Every structure is written in C-alpha cells, then in structure tokens.
C-alpha cells in the first residue's frame, strides 16, 4: 500500500526542464525560458531539470557548457538531480533509430546538402513549387525512399556517407489515433492538431553529427519523466514531429507551453551571436539577475 502511494506521488510530481545547446552563449531568450521553467516548476512544487543538448559535436564545446552553467548560477537558478548530457547517451538514441529501421520507418539518405540544393534550384527555376518545412527548409527529395533494399545495403557496406530519415508517409500510415498535443502557451491554447507531414522526411540521424534534435529530445523527455515542456515559440511547429515520434516509439506525451520569443532591437529573433543581449555581456555592464527578469518581462 505504502509503495503504491509512493509510486502515485512520483507520477504526479511535475517535471520541467531547460535544455540549452552549448553551441553559443546564453542570451535573453534563453533566460526567459530558463526562468519560466524554474518558476513554473516552483509554483507546482515540481522538479526543474537541466539537460545539455550537445549532440552536435561540431559546434558544442565544454567551454560553452561551462559558461551556460555559470550564467544559470548567476541568475540564481539551481536544478534537481544531475545534469543530463546528450553526448553521453548516443547508444540510447541509436537503439530507437534501429527500432524505426527494423519497422521500415527509416531509410538511409545518401544525397548531400549540395545535391538537394541543386535539385530544388533546378525545379524552382522551371517554376515548380518545391515543398518546404515550417522552418523554410526544402523537403528531402523522394528518390532514396524508394531505393531497392539490396542497393541500400550495398551502398552502406561500401561506406557511402548517409543520414537516416523518417519515411513520413509510412509513419503516418501507422498512426491510428488523431495526433494532437495539449498547449497552454501564448499562441493557441487547448488541443492542437499535429501536422507532421508539413516537415517531410525529417532527419533522425545525421551523417556529420550523431542523432538528431527531434529523436533525442523525445527520448530524453520520456526518460527524464518530463511532464511539462516549456520552450520558445520557434519550436511550436516541431511539436508535430515530436508527437509523431512519441506515438511511434510508445512514449508518453508531456504537456506543452510555447512562450513568446525575446526579440532583438531590430525586431529579429535573437541569435547566438547577439552579443549585446548575451547574459555574460549584460552581467559585465553591471546588470543584476533582477534586471534580467525585468528585461524579459517577468
Ligand atoms: N536545445 C534546444 C535549443 O537550445 C531546445 C530544445 C527544447 O527545448 O525542446 O533551442
């Protein structure tokens, strides 16, 4: 009995996470995300976890990770449990990829970025509309999807460089229930219908950096028992892909809250190179953690 109650309590405890990528310094947009996650977790007496999304080994560095931890400490934020570093869990992501491959839902994609660009340019030059994903990137061409299994096997054995992509149509055909998520953020609220097909055949595993953001983020959210995903509106549409992967891999669906973005003075999205909105730069000019809260409108 006591054990049952304990399990129920654990399940009910809210868990939030801040999940920065150490490929640049934290800016005001990250501060808003981190503070919101922290405050929402505190309001629910839940946990606030920190995950370092460092699978892009070409761009993430230990120095940038250290700077992120310093910035968070300076902001006055602590977190529950150890930091989870994605680079330390590649075998876990690979196992999920292997499962999708075994279920004929993923295929090796041999075209380089340059190949895709050339195909898209050629099509658009003759007036054909090439489908693009919600971030504006062209969908991956169809030819590798239909490649004969023997040819695939031979090319892989020969060491042909390839990524792994989700066969979106095959994946959607497996989904038996309406795909939706519960949103409490600042754009739309309520049950939001997911539209993963808008993304085309997304990358699951890269040729140049292992795993992909989409695959690892859904696995980690499940593994860490995340109940609430609070992140910027720039990831709103990606949630469609995350819901699809969660259903395909049998993972639970957290609640989602996509918050407004902090914009630069010129109205554009802040980028990693936005020096003057960087937390370290603001700290150096004498700003206090309370000033940061005010600056991001909390
Ligand atoms: N690592 C992502 C970023 O820094 C955030 C991922 C997420 O919150 O789902 O933009």
pLDDT higher than threshold 80 for residue 57: yes
pLDDT higher than threshold 90 for residue 263: no
Would the CATH topology of 1-88+262-298 be identical to that of 89-179+190-224+233-250? Answer: yes
* Confidence band, pLDDT 50/70/90 cuts, at residue 274: low
pLDDT higher than threshold 80 for residue 23: yes
pTM value is 0.93
Residue ID of nearest Cα to ligand 1 atom 3 = 20
**CATH number, domain 1-88+262-298:** 3.40.50.620
pLDDT of residue 12: 74
Residue ID of nearest Cα to ligand 1 atom 4 = 20
Rounded to the nearest angstrom, the distance between the alpha carbon of 188 and the centre of ligand 1 is 20
**CATH number, domain 89-179+190-224+233-250:** 3.40.50.620
* Confidence band, pLDDT 50/70/90 cuts, at residue 210: confident
pLDDT of residue 1: 42
Rounded to the nearest angstrom, the distance between the alpha carbon of 21 and the centre of ligand 1 is 7
* Confidence band, pLDDT 50/70/90 cuts, at residue 267: confident
Q: Which of 16, 20, 220 to mutate to test the pocket of ligand 1 (most atoms within 8 A of CB)?
A: 20
Q: Which two tokens stand for residue 202?
A: 């997304």
The region that residue 151 occupies, defined by phi over 0 for left and psi between -120 and 50 for alpha, beta otherwise, is: alpha
Reported for 175-178, long-range contacts at CB under 8 A and 24+ positions apart, including other chains, are: 175/244, 175/247, 175/248, 177/247
Q: Which of 27, 48, 215, 235 to mutate to test the pocket of ligand 1 (most atoms within 8 A of CB)?
A: 235
Lowest average pLDDT, out of 214-223, 249-258, 274-283, goes to: 274-283
* Confidence band, pLDDT 50/70/90 cuts, at residue 275: low
**β-bridge pairing 47-52 and 15-18:** parallel
- Residue 231 CA: nearest ligand 1 atom is 8
Write the pLDDT tens digit of every residue in 136-195. Answer: 999 999 999 999 999 999 999 999 999 999 999 999 999 998 999 999 998 889 999 999
pLDDT higher than threshold 90 for residue 264: no
Strand order in the sheet with 106-109: 106-109, 163-166, 203-205
What's the chain's average pLDDT? 93
Q: Which two tokens stand for residue 159?
A: 């060491």
Write the pLDDT tens digit of every residue in 70-115. Answer: 999 999 999 999 999 999 999 999 999 999 999 999 999 999 999 9
pLDDT higher than threshold 90 for residue 129: yes
Q: Domain locations in the chain?
A: 1-88+262-298, 89-179+190-224+233-250
pLDDT higher than threshold 70 for residue 11: no
What DSSP assignment string belongs to the chain? -HHHHHHHHHHHS-EEEE---SSS--BHHHHHHHHHHHHHHHHTT-EEEEEE----TTT--HHHHHHHHHHHHHHT---SSPPEEGGGGHHHHHHHHHHHHHTT-EEEE---HHHHHHHHHHHHHTTPPPPB-TTSPBPPPSTTTT--HHHHHHHHHTT---EEEE-HHHHHHH--S--EEEE-SSS--EEEE--GGGG-S-EEE-SSSSS-HHHHHHHHHHHTT--EEEEEGGGTTHHHHHHHHHHHTTPPPPEEEEEPPPBPTTSSBP-TT-GGGBHHHHHHTT--HHHHHHHTT-
Burial class (CB in 10 A: 0-12, 13-18, 19+), 212: buried
pLDDT higher than threshold 60 for residue 6: no
pLDDT higher than threshold 60 for residue 8: no
**d(C-alpha 204, C-alpha 219), whole Å:** 12
- Ligand 1, CB cutoff 6 Å, lining residues: 19-21, 53, 217, 231, 235
Rounded to the nearest angstrom, the distance between the alpha carbon of 103 and the centre of ligand 1 is 28
Dihedral sign from CA coordinates of 36, 42, 43, 45: positive
Q: What percent of the chain has pLDDT over 70?
A: 94
pLDDT higher than threshold 50 for residue 2: no
pLDDT of residue 268: 74
């Amino acid at each position: 009995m006591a054990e049952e109650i304990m399990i129920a309590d654990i399940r009910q405890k809210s868990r939030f996470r801040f999940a920065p990528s150490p490929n640049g310094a934290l800016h005001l947009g990250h501060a808003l995300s981190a503070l919101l996650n922290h405050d929402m977790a505190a309001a629910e007496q839940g946990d606030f976890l920190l995950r370092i999304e460092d699978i892009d080994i070409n761009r993430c560095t230990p120095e940038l990770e250290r700077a992120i931890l310093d910035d968070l400490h300076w902001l006055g934020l602590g977190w529950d449990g150890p930091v989870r570093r994605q680079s330390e869990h590649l075998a876990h992501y690979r196992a999920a990829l292997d499962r999708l491959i075994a279920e004929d839902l993923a295929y090796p994609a041999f075209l380089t970025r340059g190949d895709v660009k050339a195909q898209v340019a050629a099509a658009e030059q003759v007036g054909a509309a090439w489908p693009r994903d919600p971030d504006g990137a062209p969908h991956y061409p169809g030819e590798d999807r239909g490649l004969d299994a023997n040819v695939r096997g031979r090319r892989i054995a020969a060491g042909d460089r390839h990524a792994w992509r989700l066969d979106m149509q095959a994946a959607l055909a497996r989904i038996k229930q309406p795909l939706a998520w519960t949103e409490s953020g600042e754009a739309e609220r309520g049950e939001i219908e997911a539209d993963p097909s808008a993304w085309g055949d997304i990358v699951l595993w890269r040729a140049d950096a292992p795993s992909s953001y989409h695959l690892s983020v859904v696995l980690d959210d499940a593994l860490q028992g995340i109940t609430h995903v609070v992140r910027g509106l720039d990831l709103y549409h990606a949630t469609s892909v995350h819901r699809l992967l969660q259903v395909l891999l049998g993972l639970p669906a957290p609640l989602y809250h996509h918050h407004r973005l902090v914009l630069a003075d010129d109205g554009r999205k802040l980028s990693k190179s936005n020096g003057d909105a960087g937390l370290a730069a603001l700290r150096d000019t004498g700003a206090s953690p309370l000033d940061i809260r005010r600056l991001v409108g909390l």
